Amino acid sequence: MNALDRFFTRWWLANRASLAVLLKRNAAAIDSYRQIVALDPGDANARAALGNLLMEAGDAAGAIAEFMRIVETNPRNAEAWFNLGYIYEQRDDLANAERCFREAIAVKPSIDRAWYGLGLVLIRAQRLTEAVEVLKKNTELQPFSPYGWYQLGMTYHHLGESAKAARICEELRKFEPRYAATLKRDMERTPPVAAPARDAATTPSIDRKEAVPSTH
């Protein structure tokens, strides 16, 4: 295949993949992106799209392989490191999740999602004092996002630092009263100085929407 044929083939595949995603035909999108990366193994955007689709399809191992190819080619791709951390956390592989989130942060210290993800991993590992410092950084980077504030308040609560937890609740109330009410409710329901369980409402898995517990 000459260069011109390769260009038009890739263009056609990219459009087909985009349409398949739009129509929620993920299997077709995966097939198109696989063909794109076969034509151009260095296309990080196509490989990232393929990795995300594989993760959505439940193929975590395949997704990891795609994102690993990205960071092997370009170790300074913070988004790929973040996605690896996200996938490893979903698989309960906390050691690798922590490593990948830290790699993302080392490359791009302003990547607030990686700070948040690292904070959740540290909470799950019961390294709460470390989690506090990490979540503080997340709230510095995202001062008006309720998720880091909620986790920080609950972490202080689990450490038995009720005054600090109460201050976090008040800070959260200034811009997200609904989540402040959720934090207050969950602190009242959860005994302090207790290691949070994997499925507890206070330690949600990392989600690209960073969902917090229900306010109902």
CA 147 to CA 116: how far, in whole Å? 8
Q: How confident is the model at residue 32 (pLDDT cuts 50, 70, 90)?
A: very high
pLDDT for 210 equals 43
Residue 203 has pLDDT above 50, yes or no: no
Using one digit for the tens of pLDDT, what is the confidence trace for 142-179? 999 999 999 999 999 999 999 999 999 999 999 999 99
pLDDT for 78 equals 98
Taking alpha carbons only, the member of 133, 189, 134, 130 closest to residue 157 is 189
Residue 202 has pLDDT above 60, yes or no: no
pLDDT for 196 equals 54
Q: How confident is the model at residue 194 (pLDDT cuts 50, 70, 90)?
A: low
Q: How far apart are the first and last CA of the chain?
A: 59
Using one digit for the tens of pLDDT, what is the confidence trace for 36-79? 999 889 899 999 999 999 999 999 999 999 999 999 999 999 99
Calculate what percentage of the chain has a pLDDT beyond 90: 74
Copy the structure tokens of residue 152: 């920080």
What's the Cα-to-Cα distance from 94 to each of 104, 125, 143, 172, rounded to whole Å? Answer: 15, 7, 26, 28
Of residues 55 and 24, more confidently modeled: 55
Of residues 133 and 193, more confidently modeled: 133
